[in-house]
Each structure stands twice: as C-alpha cells, then as structure tokens.
Amino acid sequence: MKILNETYSKLLHQKVIKAEVAHYGKSTPTKENIKKELAKTANAKEELIMIKQIKTDFGSGSSIVTAYVYDSKEDLKKSEPVTKHMKAQAKKAAEEAAKAAEAPKEEPKAEEKKEEIKEENGG
C-alpha cells in the first residue's frame, strides 16, 4: 500500500487518506483487508478507519482507496451515519453475546457420573 495524499480536517478530527493498493492477478481487496493494511501503514486502530471508496479501473492491477481515519471513537460516531450494515453487525454481536451468556453448563458425561457414584458407594 502506497499513500498518495494525506490531509487532516481539524473540524471533523479526521485524516483523509488516498492510497494505492496493488493487487496484480488478484481480485479487488475487501474493505476489511484494506482496513488491516491501512492500520499498519498509517499507525491507526482499525475501528477508527472508515473506507469510503475503492476505485479500480478495468484490467488494472491496482486500486485507489479513499479512507477516513478518526482521532477517537466519539469523533467517528459524530461524523459517520449509521448504515444498515453497521446496524446488522451490532445486532449480530449482541445476539452472540446473549447466546454466550445463556449457554448452559455442560453436564458431566455418563462415564464420569458412574465413576462418581462408585467412589461415593466405596467401590
């Protein structure tokens, strides 16, 4: 990943980054892959990065990415609209957390129960 342009917006507390991502012979990288790579390159946390655009010309092996890197989670929430995709992710995470909390404790296996009964009976 090569950063082409980087500007800072004091009003929105964000960096606007334009970068070129090479992917010769491969498909256009996903937003998640670009976030990971941009986090390493720009020394930022993944949760503070919003990918706005991935532009790939037909037949070229590179893409131009426009991304916003926010200073804090609060700045991101103030500036970014909540999309259906974000709502779905939050709902899915809440459901998984609820399932994990409700997960019943595993019953001991039948063999372990037999051994416990034998030990209690003295044999």
User: Domain holding 9: CATH number?
Assistant: 3.30.70.330
* pLDDT at 114 exceeding the cut of 70: no
Q: Residue 107 falls within a domain, yes or no?
A: no
Q: Residue 109 falls within a domain, yes or no?
A: no
pLDDT attached to residue 16: 94
Q: Residue 113 falls within a domain, yes or no?
A: no
CA 64 to CA 59: how far, in whole Å?
14
Domain count, the chain: 1
**Residue 81 DSSP label:** P
Q: What is the mean pLDDT of residues 17-36?
A: 91
| Paired tokens of 77 | 């929430």
Q: What is the mean pLDDT of residues 87-104?
A: 79
Q: Residue 40 falls within a domain, yes or no?
A: yes
Residue holding tokens 């998640």? 32
How far does CA 104 lie from the centroid of its chain?
A: 29
pLDDT band for position 64 (cuts 50, 70, 90): very high
Q: Residue 120 falls within a domain, yes or no?
A: no
Q: Which of 45-49, 56-60, 100-104 is least confident?
A: 100-104
Q: Residue 79 falls within a domain, yes or no?
A: yes
Could you list the residue range(s) of the whole structural domain that residue 6 is in?
Answer: 2-102
